[in-house]
Amino acid sequence: MFKFVVVSDLHFVPDGMLSHSIDTVERFREAVIHINEFNRDAEFCIVAGDLADQGETAAYERLSLELEKLQIPFFLVVGNHDSHENFAGVFGDLTNSETGFMDRCIDVHGQRIIILDSVMVGEHAGWLGEAQLSWLKGRLDGAANMPVIVVLHHNITDLMVSNDEIRLRNNGPLLDVLSGHPDIRHVISGHVHLTSSGTCSGIPFTTISGCHYNIAPRRHDKEPRSPRFDGPGQYAVVWSGKDATVVLAEDFSHRQVHLPIELFR
């Protein structure tokens, strides 16, 4: 078995700012310390989007400094709170020339890890374009005998919470493409700020609650929006081997203070 980690929803802010009352930069520092202490033997870290809270250049500059402290290699992809343009201004242009988005394919220990850029520019919901789906099919066809794990920012199905409307909107075509491969081990997402696992059209998935606030499952119809808490801070530890892939939720911060809904208007 080899392992890698997935971190999501950093929501970095410019110096002196908070996001929904949370010091998200300090929260990510905790994550980096935790990874360096307990998961330094991981092959790499995938940071699965919402790197910045509002796509600010100053936020990416702060993130760049913090990532220097991470003692394992990392791969970055954007989320709905990010700006491709401002990201590229700090980290360089990571656009895949075949798709026009930051899609990437990594082969490690005989397995294929595919990172998809699910951003629909100007929208909070996610989308994968025709060129991306075609590129993905090519990467899967070229790995017919390899286990495949997919990482993207947006969750691929409804989770019965109040922000279901901003999940990956065209999940059907993605699931159709994935269903053509014999060994899709898992789809891992952030975005929803909730720990979940399940299957969708036979494809197993996990969402991690990430480094920002968490939402709770909606408990009854009179609760119009899912309750929000200031943690825990969580990343995923993914172990994968010949016959099995497991996704472990690693809480690096155990905070869970109920946040007033007024912070989210």
Q: Can residue 191 be called a binding residue for Fe ion (CB under 5 A)? A: yes
Instruction: Name, in order, each residue with C-beta under 8 angstroms of 120's C-beta and a sequence gap of 6 or more.
Output: 80, 126, 127, 169
Binding window for Fe ion (CB under 5 A); candidates: 90-98, 100-108, 184-192, 217-225: 184-192
Q: Are the beta carbons of 189 and 156 closer than 8 angstroms?
A: yes
Distance CA 48, CA 46 (A): 6
Instruction: Name, in order, each residue with C-beta under 8 angstroms of 253's C-beta and a sequence gap of 6 or more.
Output: 27, 30, 31, 231, 232, 233, 234
Binding window for Fe ion (CB under 5 A); candidates: 71-79, 89-97, 173-181, 253-261: 71-79
Residue nearest to Fe ion (CB): 191
- Among residues 61, 116, 117, which one has the least CA distance to residue 89? 61
Distance CA 26, CA 42 (A): 22
Q: How far is the CB of 187 from Fe ion (least distance, A)?
A: 16
Q: How far is the CB of 32 from Fe ion (least distance, A)?
A: 20
Q: What secondary structure does DSSP assign to 90-101, as a single string?
A: HH-----TTTSS
Q: How far is the CB of 242 from Fe ion (least distance, A)?
A: 33
Q: Can residue 210 be called a binding residue for Fe ion (CB under 5 A)? A: no
* Footprint of Fe ion on 142-171 (CB under 5 A): none
Q: How far is the CB of 53 from Fe ion (least distance, A)?
A: 10
H-only helix segments in 102-203: 130-141, 171-179
Binding window for Fe ion (CB under 5 A); candidates: 76-84, 129-137, 233-241, 253-261: 76-84
Q: How far is the CB of 223 from Fe ion (least distance, A)?
A: 21
Of 50 and 250, the one with the shorter C-beta distance to Fe ion is 50
Residue where the block lists tokens 């994550």 = 31
Q: Can residue 79 be called a binding residue for Fe ion (CB under 5 A)? A: yes
Binding window for Fe ion (CB under 5 A); candidates: 47-55, 66-74, 107-115, 237-245: 47-55
Write phi, then psi, for 214 (nearest 5 degrees): -110, 155
Residue where the block lists tokens 């036979």 = 202
176: number of Cβ within 10 Å: 12
Q: Can residue 50 be called a binding residue for Fe ion (CB under 5 A)? A: yes
Of 10 and 105, the one with the shorter C-beta distance to Fe ion is 10
Q: Are the beta carbons of 69 and 32 closer than 8 angstroms?
A: yes
Q: How far is the CB of 50 from Fe ion (least distance, A)?
A: 4
Give the binding-site size for Fe ion (rule: CB under 5 A).
4
Q: Can residue 80 be called a binding residue for Fe ion (CB under 5 A)? A: yes
Per CB under 5 A, residues contacting Fe ion are: 50, 79-80, 191
